């Protein structure tokens, strides 16, 4: 990737969209910067009695359309730039789906795989102690992201309730069911992407069955593989941080999920079930119809975008394709269903969880799936039509769609900015 921060690169997409709309310069100025990013150093007691500190952030990027919403990532490479970029994407994602939220994000610079369960719980609670005045059900609502899960959200919700002295389940989504979590949150990100591909399959020119490669085999990656395999599609390759496996006739998704549940890598299944080991960096160029990046940012870049053989990229990860790679993919007629639409099922069911917590009445799994399907298809169809009508990429169309809503809200807030400094 060329010089510049991750946020600079993300903002290229905002400029591209703005060129297709008559947008006031004030709107772009407001959306170019994070409203507030708080950095703290969390100190926790380790199991051996020593004290250790970890850098942590919470960013509230923009709250024009409602309280900020976004996950908390635990990752050794987390940075303030990454947190702000993820919060920028959340701002647009919530607007794409017309959810009454702005965008936020949080992170701790840590490799959680090196912590014991008790250390992980102390770190999760320390995060909430540090940020309890920033988050809140009407202010900023965290959720899981990379290397955080419902167990961690449960600890965090409990810590927040202790601090404010009352039950406040709507402060965090992605909680365990026993603490007010929603049915259907576990696979919501993948399921949203699955509904989208199913709905647009004919428009996308996709045949049946599809050959699918999945990069990253965590929450998003495992569920998309499971959902597509259950419909008779062939999962030809998957990878995780330790390697990849390949089987042109189809991988055994159940065996892969079992390996992950047992703490093994996908590559550990090589040699059985017809799985062959593959170098992880080769996954992007595997022969397939649909490539599903479900790991981290910038995985499809200038250096490997030309090797992509898929007709469609479904971005379940946030920011997996760089702007340079976008240009190469467009030249090669590869369609990209962009992150702010493709993986928005997660935040949509998080929104359902927040609504259910606030009303104290819980929906059935069928109701969750149906409401998610309706929103994914409605927004996906509108964005697809904009892309066709304007002759622009689906990504630019998604930004145009979101920017329209953000601009309308910024305008509706009134003109007080003219009077106060």
Start-to-end CA distance of the chain, whole Å, equals 38
Determine, following the binding rule CB under 6 A, whether residue 189 of this chain makes contact with ligand NAD.
Answer: yes
Q: How far is the CB of 20 from ligand NAD (least distance, A)?
A: 25
Q: How many residues bind ligand NAD (CB under 6 A)?
A: 24
Determine, following the binding rule CB under 6 A, whether residue 217 of this chain makes contact with ligand NAD.
Answer: yes
User: Among candidates 199, 157, 222, 180, which has minimal Cα distance to 342?
Assistant: 199
**Nearest to ligand NAD of 86, 392 (CB atom):** 86
Candidate residues 225, 316, 387, 397; the one interacting with ligand NAD per rule CB under 6 A? 316
Beta bridge pairs of residue 313: 291, 336
Candidate residues 85, 215, 322, 386; the one interacting with ligand NAD per rule CB under 6 A? 215
| Candidates 139-147, 251-259, 362-370, 407-415; binding stretch for ligand NAD (CB under 6 A) | 139-147
Give the integer Cα–Cα distance in Å for 260 and 218. Answer: 8
Question: Is there a contact between 137 and 168 (Cβ–Cβ < 8 Å)?
Answer: yes
Report the relative pairing of strands 51-62 and 102-109 from DSSP bridges. antiparallel
Binding string, residues 273-312; x marks residues near ligand NAD by CB under 6 A: -------x-------------xxx----------------
**Which residue of the set 93, 105, 175, 211 is catalytic?**
105
Report the relative pairing of strands 243-246 and 234-240 from DSSP bridges. antiparallel
Give the integer Cα–Cα distance in Å for 139 and 392. Answer: 35
The SS3 assignment for 94 reads: helix
- Quick one: how many helices (H) and strands (E) in the chain? 13, 12
Determine, following the binding rule CB under 6 A, whether residue 182 of this chain makes contact with ligand NAD.
Answer: no
Q: How far is the CB of 296 from ligand NAD (least distance, A)?
A: 5
| Candidates 15-23, 26-34, 131-139, 236-244; binding stretch for ligand NAD (CB under 6 A) | 236-244
Q: How far is the CB of 318 from ligand NAD (least distance, A)?
A: 4
Question: Is there a contact between 352 and 99 (Cβ–Cβ < 8 Å)?
Answer: no
Candidate residues 145, 158, 159, 289; the one interacting with ligand NAD per rule CB under 6 A? 145
Let me know the angle formed at the C-alpha of 318 by 143 and 410, rounded to the nearest 5 degrees: 75
Determine, following the binding rule CB under 6 A, whether residue 147 of this chain makes contact with ligand NAD.
Answer: yes
Give the integer Cα–Cα distance in Å for 35 and 31. Answer: 9
Q: How far is the CB of 244 from ligand NAD (least distance, A)?
A: 7
Token reading at 229: 């395999």
Give the integer Cα–Cα distance in Å for 363 and 202. Answer: 32
**Nearest to ligand NAD of 220, 225 (CB atom):** 220
The dihedral region occupied by 221, where left means phi > 0, alpha psi between -120 and 50, and beta the remainder, is alpha
**Nearest to ligand NAD of 280, 291 (CB atom):** 280
* Integer-rounded Cα radius of gyration of the chain: 21
**Nearest to ligand NAD of 224, 392 (CB atom):** 224
Determine, following the binding rule CB under 6 A, whether residue 241 of this chain makes contact with ligand NAD.
Answer: yes
User: Among candidates 346, 366, 370, which has minimal Cα distance to 145?
Assistant: 346
Determine, following the binding rule CB under 6 A, whether residue 146 of this chain makes contact with ligand NAD.
Answer: yes
Determine, following the binding rule CB under 6 A, whether residue 240 of this chain makes contact with ligand NAD.
Answer: yes
Determine, following the binding rule CB under 6 A, whether residue 82 of this chain makes contact with ligand NAD.
Answer: no
User: Among candidates 161, 154, 36, 8, which has minimal Cα distance to 104?
Assistant: 36
Determine, following the binding rule CB under 6 A, whether residue 106 of this chain makes contact with ligand NAD.
Answer: no
Q: Which residues contact 31 (CB under 8 A, 6 or more apart)?
A: 14, 62, 88, 91, 403, 406
Determine, following the binding rule CB under 6 A, whether residue 318 of this chain makes contact with ligand NAD.
Answer: yes
Determine, following the binding rule CB under 6 A, whether residue 317 of this chain makes contact with ligand NAD.
Answer: yes
Give the integer Cα–Cα distance in Å for 398 and 418. Answer: 30
> By Cβ distance, which residue is nearest to ligand NAD?
218
Candidate residues 239, 268, 357, 396; the one interacting with ligand NAD per rule CB under 6 A? 239
User: Annotated catalytic, 105?
Assistant: yes
**Nearest to ligand NAD of 68, 239 (CB atom):** 239
- b or e along 266-290 (b: 16 or more beta carbons within 10 Å of the residue's beta carbon)? bbbbbeeeebeebebeebbbbebbb
Site for ligand NAD in 329-368 (CB under 6 A): 343, 346
Candidate residues 66, 176, 218, 250; the one interacting with ligand NAD per rule CB under 6 A? 218
**Nearest to ligand NAD of 42, 244 (CB atom):** 244
Binding site for ligand NAD (CB under 6 A): 144-147, 189, 215-221, 239-241, 280, 294-296, 316-318, 343, 346
Please identify every residue annotated as catalytic: 105
């Amino acid at each position: 990737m060329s010089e510049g921060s991750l946020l600079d690169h993300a903002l290229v997409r905002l400029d591209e969209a703005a060129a297709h709309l008559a947008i006031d310069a004030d709107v772009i100025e407001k959306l170019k910067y994070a409203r507030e990013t708080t950095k703290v150093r969390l100190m926790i007691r380790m199991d051996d009695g020593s004290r250790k500190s970890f850098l942590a952030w919470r960013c509230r990027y923009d709250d024009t359309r409602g309280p900020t919403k976004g996950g908390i990532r635990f990752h050794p490479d987390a940075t303030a730039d990454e947190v702000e970029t993820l919060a920028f994407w959340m701002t647009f994602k919530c607007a794409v789906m017309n959810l009454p939220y702005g965008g936020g994000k949080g992170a701790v610079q840590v490799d959680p795989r090196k912590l014991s369960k008790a250390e992980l719980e102390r770190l999760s609670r320390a995060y909430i102690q540090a940020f309890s005045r920033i988050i809140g059900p009407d202010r900023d609502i965290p959720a899981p992201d990379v290397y955080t899960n419902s167990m961690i959200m449960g600890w965090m919700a409990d810590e927040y309730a202790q601090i404010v002295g009352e039950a406040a389940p709507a402060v965090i989504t992605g909680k365990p069911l026993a603490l007010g979590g929603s049915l259907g949150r576990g696979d919501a990100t993948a399921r949203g992407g699955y509904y989208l591909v199913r709905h647009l399959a004919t428009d996308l020119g996709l045949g049946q069955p599809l050959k699918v490669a999945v990069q990253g085999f965590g929450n998003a990656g495992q569920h998309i593989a499971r959902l597509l395999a259950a419909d008779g599609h062939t999962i030809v390759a998957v990878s995780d941080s330790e390697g990849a496996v390949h089987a042109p006739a189809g991988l055994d998704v159940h065996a892969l999920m079992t390996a992950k549940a047992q703490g093994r890598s996908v590559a550990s299944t090589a040699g059985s079930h017809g799985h062959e080991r593959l170098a992880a960096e080769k996954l992007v160029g595997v022969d397939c119809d649909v490539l599903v990046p479900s790991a981290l940012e910038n995985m499809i870049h200038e250096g490997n975008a030309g090797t992509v053989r898929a007709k469609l990229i479904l971005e379940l990860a946030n920011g997996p394709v760089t702007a340079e790679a976008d240009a190469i993919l467009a030249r090669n007629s590869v369609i990209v269903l962009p992150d702010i639409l493709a993986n928005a099922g997660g935040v949509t069911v998080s929104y359902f969880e927040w609504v259910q917590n606030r009303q104290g009445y819980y929906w059935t799994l069928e109701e969750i799936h149906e409401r998610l399907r309706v929103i994914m298809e409605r927004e996906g169809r509108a964005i697809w039509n904009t892309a066709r009508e304007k002759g622009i990429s689906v990504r630019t169309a998604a930004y145009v769609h979101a920017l329209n809503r953000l601009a309308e809200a910024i305008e509706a807030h009134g003109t007080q900015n003219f009077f106060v400094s």
